[in-house]
Structure 1
Amino acid sequence: MLAFIMLINRSGAMVIPFLGVYMTQSLHFTLNQTGVVLSCFGVGAVCGSWLGGWLTDKVGQFYIQFFCLLLCVPVYCVLPLLTTPVTLAVGVFVQSLVSETFRPANSVSIASYTKPENITKAFSLNRMAMNLGFSIGPALGGFLAAFSYHWLFYGNAISCGLAGIMFYLFFKDKAPRKLASHQKIKDKNKGISPWKDSRFLLFSILCCLYSVCFFQLLNTLPLFYREVHHLSEWDIGLILAFSGLVVFSLEMLLVHLAERKLTASAIIILGTLICGISYSMLVLPGKFLLLYTSIFLLCISEILAMPFMATITMRRAPENRQGAYMGLNALSFSAAHVLSPLLGTRVANDYGFNTLWILIGGITLLTSVGFWWVIKKLKAPVDN
């Protein structure tokens, strides 16, 4: 049911993929102004990830998820009224703060209804629902943007409201089981803060570096489609919808096969390298075939890397610190939301998109080496 609610919520995911295009095409912001506003989304995500982890341990996952979904409704309705870089930056920050506070609570909720041996599959199922919704959202968003960009915001508001109502009706009387630690930890380490876990901190930094590269999907890649290949909003929406459909179709199968054939470290390293390949190939000549092949490889990267990052985090977390660990891991992705648009748009503006894609290839290569080293050092059953 959590996956179904996520499907409803993500089916309205129209704003973020088109936000950069909206600012450059409709509000006529410069590329650098667009990058700054998109970075404010990341700042809100950083604050929301920390706040969500803390509140989940203090208040519980149910109330955090419910109120975050409902609060998103008025925030999305206000965003179309904000038309200057400063006001829109503030609005995007608030929207991101609310929506990202939801994520650590949602991750703990998934784990609380899942047997330890099925936790990777549970995260994959939830992500599969997210990506099916993401395949619907951008396609619908591209259609609505052809009439008015404002309908993107209103569509997101409706989907959040529906998800919040369904979540409350289904889970109000359901008590989650007590979470057990998925890691054998010495008693003296029980309750350790993730901020004092140096190896996990390094792992989270590497997750952030991977995400800085991957999240170009939401920031500079739509701008690249528009400015370099001159694609319409509808064509951009179709490519993004294709990416969601690929992940929805293949994730459970590939995760199952990867778990049987490879170690967790090998899976994450392979996913990281494929991410670099998918972006680097964009320097090659071509149009639709090239763009769809690149986005397909990027989807494979996401399928291989992200579920196992969440699995390692839950296995590393002590029993009474799972919210904090998931919050810190979500923080690494949220920090990438700050750096990804800021650095991506700046490099693209000053040096060109081709330089950006080659740079991403180099970063992912170094990041994969880092993952190889740190996962061996983590004292958690991360390898099969």
Structure 2
Amino acid sequence: MHSFIDKWRRLPRIAYIFGVSNFVIAAGAFVMPFLTLMLTKKLGMSTLEAAFYVNIVFVAYVPATILGGWLTDRIGRKTVYIGAICLEILATACAGFYANQFELIYFLFAIAFMNGMVSPVMQAWQADYSTPENRQMVFGTSYFGWNLGFAIGPAVAGLLFNNHFQLMFWGDAFTTFCAMVLILFLLPHEKPEQTETESPEREAEKAHEGGMWSLLLSRPRLLLFALVGYFLNLIYGQMAFSVPIHLDATFGADGPAIFGQLWMVNALMVVVFTPFVAGLSGRYSTYFNIAIAAVCYGIGFSLLGSTNSFMLLSMSIAVFTFGEVMSATNSQAHIANESPKNFRGRMSGTLNLLIGAGYGMSPLLSGLFIDKWGIEMIWPTVFGIGMVCAVAILLIRPKSVVAAS
């Protein structure tokens, strides 16, 4: 136990700063978790229409992550982060004035775009100040802060949704502004080469002389790793799309409030699991940890759609949340460990684009699936996908890998 606590104490300062800023942002995360319900309940769209427009919003992440990764490596972490966050705050605040109009979709697209730009910046920034030995804990600390805030944000948003819809946007913008101020004054402005911390013997992190395509083609196992991540995110996307539809059909007018409460349960479970998972998962390879995540995703979501009991819903949330923590604390660390120092932003942006495409495509594919076979059949299907992912990630694992890679 003493060694476990000592590991957390020795983490770089940036891990705690990102943890606090993520907490502040997530405590006001009122908008994106309720995207599906906004379109169906406030704009009156059908399930299939909502699936289409949710997918359109998520498409924003495609150019955003590529642009964000490229700019991160070119002009520095802090400049890109502050610029994108400021534009996201502006778009979120303006969206409040169009909360019940179709034009809301344009602002949601802009919010998603800026959010997508920020993602590779944060991952590259944290990789700069960490080593392969502590990266799972560094990324886990940031993730911990996000979910500690998420235990508050969606639950509050669920209470605001019916009668104070506009406040969801303005509250979200305010908390994001507060987090931006923290980053502005507390984090350094150095470029990657000035903050290099990786061990010299780490061949995978040495500077790459060629272009992006030659780098990706030289690491096929990393591409396969990202492909498995795509299907895991396809499963995880059910939380934002199929779950609220299931709850709306099951609980009627109480659906949005219960949905917010389940997000709170999810966040609280992350808070409970993250310190231990991040500290202990280093004993095993990232491949093995992702396989565990896939099994938990499959089991958790299959149980989630088979009950109308809040207690059983919460238990299924706990199962898939354990997998979520495993995935979040290992996938980004794995990508950072396999990325050259001068390509961290672009590698993060490109691979997370592939992984995130699963989440982005999930609403559209799920909407088409539900329209044809019904909401009941989505749950055994995601169970099957989860089991296939678990087997696939173990098959691509290098034979020599035993401990964390």
Shared fold by TM > 0.5? Answer: yes
- TM-score w.r.t. length of structure 1: 0.92
Asked if 1:312 corresponds to 2:367, the answer is no
Q: Which residue of 2 aligns with 1:329?
A: 351
Indicate if the aligned counterparts of 1:76 and 1:154 stay in contact, CA closer than 8 A: yes
Please report how far the alpha carbon of residue 267 of structure 1 lies from its aligned counterpart in structure 2 after TM superposition.
Answer: 1.3
Please report how far the alpha carbon of residue 380 of structure 1 lies from its aligned counterpart in structure 2 after TM superposition.
Answer: 8.3
Please report how far the alpha carbon of residue 367 of structure 1 lies from its aligned counterpart in structure 2 after TM superposition.
Answer: 1.5
Indicate if the aligned counterparts of 2:289 and 2:326 stay in contact, CA closer than 8 A: yes
Total equivalences in the alignment: 381
Q: Which residue of 2 aligns with 1:345?
A: 367
Indicate if the aligned counterparts of 2:270 and 2:321 stay in contact, CA closer than 8 A: yes
Please report how far the alpha carbon of residue 283 of structure 1 lies from its aligned counterpart in structure 2 after TM superposition.
Answer: 4.5
Q: Which residue of 2 aligns with 1:195?
A: 216
C-alpha distance after superposition, 1:47-96 (max 9, x if no partner):
211111111001111111111111111211232416565x4443322211
Q: Which residue of 2 aligns with 1:37?
A: 53
C-alpha distance after superposition, 1:281-303 (max 9, x if no partner):
23434421221111111110101
Cα distance in 1 for residues equivalent to 2:401 and 2:164? 50
C-alpha distance after superposition, 1:102-160 (max 9, x if no partner):
01111111122224421110000000011111111101111221322222111111111
Q: Which residue of 1 aligns with 2:312?
A: 290
Change (3 A) 1:186 1:343: closer
Q: Which residue of 1 aligns with 2:266?
A: 243
SS of alignment partner, residue 93 of structure 1: helix
- TM-score w.r.t. length of structure 2: 0.87
Moved more, 346-355 or 223-232: 223-232
The equivalent position to 1:184 in structure 2, one of 193, 197, 203, is 203
Please report how far the alpha carbon of residue 31 of structure 1 lies from its aligned counterpart in structure 2 after TM superposition.
Answer: 0.7
Cα distance in 2 for residues equivalent to 1:132 and 1:166? 17
Moved more, 17-26 or 368-377: 368-377
Cα distance in 1 for residues equivalent to 2:198 and 2:18? 20
Indicate if the aligned counterparts of 2:65 and 2:350 stay in contact, CA closer than 8 A: yes
Q: Counterpart amino acid of 1:251?
A: T
Change (3 A) 1:186 1:103: closer
Q: Counterpart amino acid of 1:318?
A: P
Cα distance in 1 for residues equivalent to 2:250 and 2:298? 20
C-alpha distance after superposition, 1:24-62 (max 9, x if no partner):
112111111111111122211122111111110011111
Please report how far the alpha carbon of residue 276 of structure 1 lies from its aligned counterpart in structure 2 after TM superposition.
Answer: 0.5
C-alpha distance after superposition, 1:188-245 (max 9, x if no partner):
9655625323222221111111111012112221221122233342222111111111
The equivalent position to 1:227 in structure 2, one of 226, 229, 249, is 249
SS of alignment partner, residue 171 of structure 2: helix
Moved more, 348-357 or 208-217: 348-357
The equivalent position to 1:254 in structure 2, one of 267, 270, 277, is 277
SS of alignment partner, residue 29 of structure 2: coil
Change (3 A) 1:54 1:139: same
